[in-house]
Amino acid sequence: MTDWIRVCATGELLPGEMRQVWDGATPIVVVNLDGEYYALEDRCSHEDVELSTGSLDPAEGSIECMLHGARFDLRDGRALCAPAYTPVPTFPVKVADGAVWTRDDR
Ligand code: FES
């Protein structure tokens, strides 16, 4: 179990925005979805592409891979459409000391 990784101050991650951080060798994309924070491994399950280079759909609550258009649910990481079928791992997020924190808890 690793320590929590500081993402940024809460004021630096507004609704509809995302940030990438690394926990060791794990890239993590942290998203503010209408005031709720979600963290996913920043790696498409179709090919090794960073999801943070894609786009958010706040209405659906999803992130779309920029390479082939697969979408993943921000809340549970499940693949919503082809060409991805495997979910993306999700990670815990907490708010403490005015900042957003996450970690690879696997
Ligand atoms: S690499 Fe993400 S959809 Fe193909």
Question: Which atom of ligand 1 lies closest to the CA of 44?
Answer: 2
8 Å CB contact between 5 and 94: no
CA–CA separation, 10 and 24 (whole Å): 22
Please check whether residue 99 lies inside any domain of the structure: no
CA–centroid distance, residue 93 to ligand 1 (Å): 25
Please check whether residue 105 lies inside any domain of the structure: no
Exposure of 97 by Cβ count < 10 A (0-12 exposed, 13-18 middle, 19+ buried)? exposed
Please check whether residue 98 lies inside any domain of the structure: no
At 14-44, the pLDDT tens digits run 999 999 999 999 999 999 999 999 999 999 9
Please provide the average confidence, as pLDDT, over all residues in the chain: 97
Please check whether residue 6 lies inside any domain of the structure: no
Strand partners, 18: 31
Q: Is the CB of 83 under 6 A from ligand 1?
A: yes
Q: Which domain CATH number covers 85? A: 2.102.10.10
Identify the band that residue 2 occupies on the pLDDT scale cut at 50, 70 and 90: low
CA–centroid distance, residue 34 to ligand 1 (Å): 25
Domain ranges, residue 51? 13-93
Mean local confidence (pLDDT), 45-54: 98
Number of domains forming the structure of the chain: 1
Q: Mean pLDDT lowest for which of 2-11, 51-60, 62-71, 75-84?
A: 2-11
User: Sheet holding 90-91: strands in order across?
Assistant: 18-23, 26-33, 36-41, 90-91
